[in-house]
Amino acid sequence: MAPRIPLVRRLGARHLVLALAATALAVPPAAEPVEALHTPPRTAFESSNGARWTGGAEEQSFLAAVGRGGDRVSVDRIGTTEQGRPLQLVGIGDRHPGATTVLLICSQHGDEPSGREACLTTVRDLAYTEDPATRTFLSRTRILVVPTANPDGRAANTRGNSDGVDINRDHIALRTAEARAIATVIRDRRPEVIYDLHEYGATPPRYDKDLFVLWPRNPNVTRQVHDASRTLSESYVRPTAGDAGYSSGHYGVWTDPVTGDPVKQTAGDGQERILRNAAGIKHAVGLLIESRVDAVTDAEKADPAVNNRRRVASQLAALDGLFRFADRQRGRIGAATAASRAAGFTDRGPVRLGGADNEPAEPAEILRDPPCGYRLSAGRFADVKDELALHGVTFRPDGDGAYVPLRQSARNLVPLLLDRRATYHLTEGQPDPAC
């Protein structure tokens, strides 16, 4: 197993806690003592050397301690789950409008905890760093973290939330409190980069890398955002993970174990309701990251804690690549996201209701001459006005209902929400052909 690498290694950050494998001390399930004001707190996962995941109450104590660690950290409540658990957003770094904003969404699926643990220790390491290079990075970068995007699912160790809904299939409908909170952050904080941390079950020998990654494939993502996202994957995250000793591949694509050639694709399409794709349509450079759950070595099979440590360490290696990308490519990131936001005011090209970057949309799925907008009756508007607002879609009164023009930043999103032919549309708007 490759050791955990220092966070923001390429920036020279000082690693602030001992490597997970350096201690064999486990802690009992009871909460740990409150940390001193300037002493970096540790997660229960770290203190148990990977023997157990950090509990909900322990997370709250940990974040409270991190929040007391300095002026550069904020911890805000952005929502509440059906079972009353807090949805929280941690902010670290520069709040200046010109800073590059990076958003980490951790453990949308409650039974995929390694990304959450990586996010928690990342929050701590950045909050307490005294390393000059890392502090320079934070002086021009705003890191936003949703440490547990599905608290009810994490408490129950289930993929879905307390209602059994897969949050990562709710980024169009926005029916869950969890997806609504994420949409609010994206709308209000306008992150340039969104990074979504998950885990997967391997199918050897054709689908069993340490990490799988994938950029937004939806064909309505602008070329600038799409290409920057691929650069994040292919030139930063995967090479950095490889340097740390972890194998990687493209999520959902099975490969021949001898040649490495693609065999078939089983996931990773262009569905707009998945965060990876929704984020791209909303102008953010982004990436899905998936670490392998399954034990591989004899040591991992004999001791689940060894397997757990590898899962978290691989996520941390991938995060290192993300931060290197954010630091070195901030000019390109800003240009790509700005161009994407501006395109909706001038673009007159087609909108695609299906397909992906590697699978052309069928002719019936292409709006070759999109309408100028969509009219909504009073009843239909009442049903979806909150969701439109959460998506950041502009609309105006139209009689008793509303009119949603295509000429706006959210141009490529509007038909996916309102056209009756779109697979996951919110409601059926009446297309307006007269511009």
Residues with Cβ within 8 Å of 109's Cβ and at least 6 positions away in sequence, in order, are 150, 153, 159, 160, 166, 167, 168, 198, 199
Evaluate whether residue 70 is within a structural domain: yes
Q: Tell me the chain's radius of gyration from C-alpha atoms.
A: 22
> Would 360 be classed as within a structural domain?
no
Q: Is 351 part of a structural domain of the chain?
A: no
Cβ-proximal residues to 178 (8 Å cutoff; 6+ apart), any chain: 79, 81, 87, 108, 149, 150, 161, 167, 170
- DSSP one-letter code for 420: T
pLDDT in tens, 159-176: 999 999 999 999 999 999
Burial of 363 (0-12, 13-18, 19+ CB in 10 A): exposed
- CA 374 to CA 4: how far, in whole Å? 51
Does 315 map to a domain? yes
Residues 86, 29 share a domain: yes
Q: What is the mean pLDDT of residues 58-77?
A: 91
- Is there a single domain that holds both residue 396 and residue 259? no
Q: Is the pLDDT of residue 13 over 50?
A: no
Residue 375 shares a structural domain with residue 252: no
* pLDDT over 60 (residue 2): no
Residue 17 has pLDDT above 70, yes or no: no
Asked if 294 and 415 sit in the same domain, the reply is no
- Same structural domain for residues 206 and 83? yes
Whether residues 409 and 304 fall in one domain: no
**Residue 435: pLDDT over 90:** no
Last residue of a domain, one of 317, 339, 361: 339
Point out the domain boundary residue: 339, 357, 391: 339
Phi, then psi, of 313 in degrees rounded to 5: -60, -35
Sign of CA dihedral 162, 165, 168, 170: negative
CA distance 378 to 20: 57
Pick the closest to residue 317 from 74, 49, 20, 109 (CA basis): 20
pLDDT at 15 > cutoff 60: no
pLDDT at 226: 98
* pLDDT band for position 8 (cuts 50, 70, 90): very low
What would the mean pLDDT of 119-142 be, rounded to a whole number? Answer: 96
pLDDT of amino acid 96: 86
| Rounded mean pLDDT, 31-53 | 79
From residue 408, alpha-carbon distances to 193, 201, 317, 318 in Å are 21, 40, 38, 35
- Quick one: 320 and 375 in the same domain? no
What CATH number did the domain enclosing 174 receive?
A: 3.40.630.10
CB 110 within 8 A of CB 152: yes
Neighbours of 341 (CB within 10 A): 17
Q: Write out pLDDT tens, residues 283-340.
A: 999 999 999 999 999 999 999 999 999 999 999 999 999 999 999 999 999 999 999 9
Residue-level pLDDT at 19: 33
Question: Do residues 294 and 382 share a domain?
Answer: no
Co-location of 277 and 330 in the same domain = yes
SS (H, E, C) 209-242: CCEEEECCCCCCCCHHHHHHHHHHHHHHHHHHHH
**Tens of pLDDT, residues 236-277:** 999 999 999 999 999 999 999 999 999 999 999 999 999 999
Predicted pLDDT of residue 39: 85
Given the structure tokens 């009992």, which residue do they identify?
28
Over residues 206-219, the mean pLDDT reads 97
User: Which of the listed residues 339, 359, 394 is the one where a domain comes to its end?
Assistant: 339
Total domains in the chain come to 2
- Tell me which residue range forms the domain holding 290: 9-339
Same-domain pairing of 305 and 413:
no
Residue 26 has pLDDT above 90, yes or no: no
Share of the chain above pLDDT 70, in %: 91
Is 345 within the bounds of a domain? no
- Specify whether the CB–CB gap between 219 and 355 falls below 8 A: yes
Residue 277 lies in a domain: yes
Residue for token digits 């959902």?
Answer: 252
Q: In sequence order, what are the beta bridge partners of 196?
A: 105, 288
32 and 143 housed in the same domain: yes
What value does the mean pLDDT of the chain take?
91
CA gap 310, 82 in Å, rounded: 32
Residue 349 lies in a domain: no
The predicted model scores a pTM of 0.92
On whether both 13 and 57 belong to a single domain, the answer is yes
**Is residue 37 domain-resident?**
yes
pLDDT, tens digit (0-9, with 9 covering 90-100), for 391-410: 999 999 999 999 999 999 99
The answer on pLDDT for 141 being more than 50 is yes
**pLDDT per residue over 192-202, tens digit each?**
999 999 999 99
